[in-house]
Structure 1
Amino acid sequence: MEATPSLPIPVSFVSGRYLLFSVDAVTYLRREHHICGVLVGTLPQIPQQNVFLGLPLELMPEEARLLVEKGVACIVDEAKAHKDGMKALMEEEKRRYLQNLKNEGLKASRIQAGRKEQRREEALKKLEQKKAAKVKTTEPQKATEDAAAATEDADLDLFAPDSRPGSSLASAQTPIVPETPMGITPATSYPPLPPQPSTEQLMPLPDVPASYPLFAHLHSEGYFLSPGLRFGCQYLAYPGDPLRFHSHFLVVAAEWDQEIDLMDIVIGGRLGTGVKKGFLLGGAEKKAEVSEAEGNDSVRTFSIEWAGM
């Protein structure tokens, strides 16, 4: 059963970006509130990988503001919260927390060393079996080549250079006990810091572009929205989770009294049709008969498709 985080979920504001570091918060917001964001984290040991990214999850300012307005999240000045939290901790709590991290790293290192020894033993056993089998064959040259290849596999070490001869089966029976623990980087600051920030650490609503009313309107209609830069628009609108559905619309916002070049509409409609999507143009309508106190914005949308020959 998936864990439900306590509300409001703290969204970390770091260097002008809105980030989520908790996997429980990420899955909850995607499942319950149609907020997908963009994964921007990479693996420390594979920094060049850019296909399968991980935490943290970066939110658009529109997504962050929408969550705050719904009371689901709050914006936290992460630098201030971290400094204040570390100052408030007692030295004994800091020491205990660091010792726990070291123990976890040492445990991970021992598990990794055990797996390495197991692979070494399996490779050496295969080598001995191949040597015994090749004695009965009439192809000594091929047997020598196979033994050399198996020896190279036995000596292969992905994490540290091998300090022992790999040709001795007895040497593989002694397990390696690492003295230096593996570095563990916690995904969140709590524990030891409190999960909910203080009032002084909260920030005001994020600044959003003029397209925010259209974003909020489509979100209220059940659409999943993601950045649309790769298709030359502001948002991509999905009828369901992007892992299951293709996007239906290329979304572009405009002011209600903004002049729009006809060629821009033609280009958008043709582009949307070319990638099997609709071109959605929308904006907030101004109603003079409704007072400002009651709210005078309602969003209207138009879907355009290319039908020319």
Structure 2
Amino acid sequence: MAPDPTPVTEPFPISHIAGRYLLFDINAISHARRHHNICGVLIGTLPNLSQQNVFLGIPLELMPEEARVLVERGHAYIVDDVRAHRKGCLEMSRDERLKYLREMDRQGLEFAKGVREKAEERAERALREKGLVGRRGKEESEAPQESADAEGVSTSNSLLDSTPSTSPSVAVPEKKLEPHFITPTTSYPPLSPPSTDAALPLPSVPKSYPLFRYLNSRGYFAMPGLRFGCNYSVYPGDPLRFHSHFLATGLDWDEEFELLDIVGGGRLGTGVKKAYLIGGEDPEATPAEEEEQDGASAKPVRAFSIEWAGF
């Protein structure tokens, strides 16, 4: 695996806003996906194209299960984002604010320069494709001879005319480069990252959480499985590279369930080329050693996959 372009220091903060668990830092998002099998769902839209819903951007919303498994294993902590921003803005000095605004202007100017350079490259490429650049070079090669002839005529005229006429050269001023307005994706800087001392308690999770934690510890990726009528759609690797293998539903250890639910889940899973998976945590067993090695103490989970034959 290639190293991360920007290393992330753990534990990293997870913002808790209006009951949602969000990641705004692109480095933290890629770190959680690459190293902890946490995908989340992008929910951000573009400010000037708020109706687009195909390619969403940051922030990344985490399921409560994803946020909890990161916190339990010491990779992240949860902060009250509103309170942290209010506290940080009140403690921020005037010099720090001016320094941050100057840095935003500098980044905006660099971005504007890059945009102008790319536009000039596109214009030059278009002229080259139309053959105008070659013609221009030919005209420039003929220019010295014409200028020499013109100089001879000008010299002869100056012998007869005591007041030679010269046309002043007009310089076309270059358009002033206006910096672009940069919208930062995080508040750190200018604010300092929130302290772990102000971390919120563990998120409340559904009864399917033990199955999610068990699958995550085995290297699987889990995405919401609502469209398949289950808790999670489980992938053997990154969902950008693999199709899901299981439709997973978490149950309590002694929970009763209808046989028709197993039949329907098995038939549906086989129909979409997946296996139906059910599992739960044994409340009377001792914590599993593999979970203890991963930094969390959890009781073992048993899982069963159901696949319909004859399809």
Give the match for residue 177 of structure 1: 176
Q: Give 1:102 deviation, angstroms.
A: 2.1
Give the match for residue 193 of structure 1: 191
1:262 aligns with 2:259: yes
Structure 1: distance between partners of 2:194 and 2:17: 17
Q: Deviations along 1:176-219, whole A, 9 cap, x unmatched?
A: 3244x32211121111211342523x211111111111111111
Structure 2: distance between partners of 1:196 and 1:32: 23
CA gap 1:127/1:176 in 2 versus in 1, 3 angstroms? farther
Q: Give 1:103 deviation, angstroms.
A: 2.6
TM-score of the pair, normalised by structure 1: 0.76
> Is the partner of 1:286 in helix, strand or coil?
coil
> Is the partner of 2:300 in helix, strand or coil?
strand
Give the match for residue 163 of structure 1: none
Q: Deviations along 1:129-151, whole A, 9 cap, x unmatched?
A: 59x9xxxxxxxxxxxxxxxxxxx
CA gap 1:128/1:306 in 2 versus in 1, 3 angstroms? closer
Output aligned runs, 1:134-173, within 5 Å.
none
| 8 A Cα contact 1:113 1:176, kept in partner | no
Where structure 1 has 5 or more consecutive residues not aligned to the other structure, the ranges are 133-172
Structure 1: distance between partners of 2:42 and 2:26: 11
TM-score of the pair, normalised by structure 2: 0.75
Output aligned runs, 1:57-76, within 5 Å.
57-76=60-79
Q: Deviations along 1:122-170, whole A, 9 cap, x unmatched?
A: 667878959x9xxxxxxxxxxxxxxxxxxxxxxxxxxxxxxxxxxxxxx
- Residue in structure 2 matching 1:39, options 39, 42, 45: 42
Give the match for residue 234 of structure 2: 237
**Aligned partner of 1:19: which letter?**
L
* Percent pairwise identity: 52
| 8 A Cα contact 1:256 1:286, kept in partner | yes
Superposition CA RMSD, Å? 2.8
1:16 aligns with 2:15: no
Structure 1: distance between partners of 2:219 and 2:273: 20
Give the match for residue 169 of structure 1: none
Give the match for residue 274 of structure 1: 271
Structure 2: distance between partners of 1:107 and 1:220: 44
| 8 A Cα contact 1:7 1:73, kept in partner | yes
Q: Give 1:19 deviation, angstroms.
A: 1.0
| 8 A Cα contact 1:81 1:197, kept in partner | no
Q: Give 1:118 deviation, angstroms.
A: 5.3
CA gap 1:95/1:257 in 2 versus in 1, 3 angstroms? same
| 8 A Cα contact 1:113 1:177, kept in partner | no
| 8 A Cα contact 1:110 1:177, kept in partner | no
Q: Give 1:261 deviation, angstroms.
A: 1.3
Give the match for residue 303 of structure 1: 305
Structure 1: distance between partners of 2:121 and 2:220: 49
Structure 2: distance between partners of 1:127 and 1:238: 50
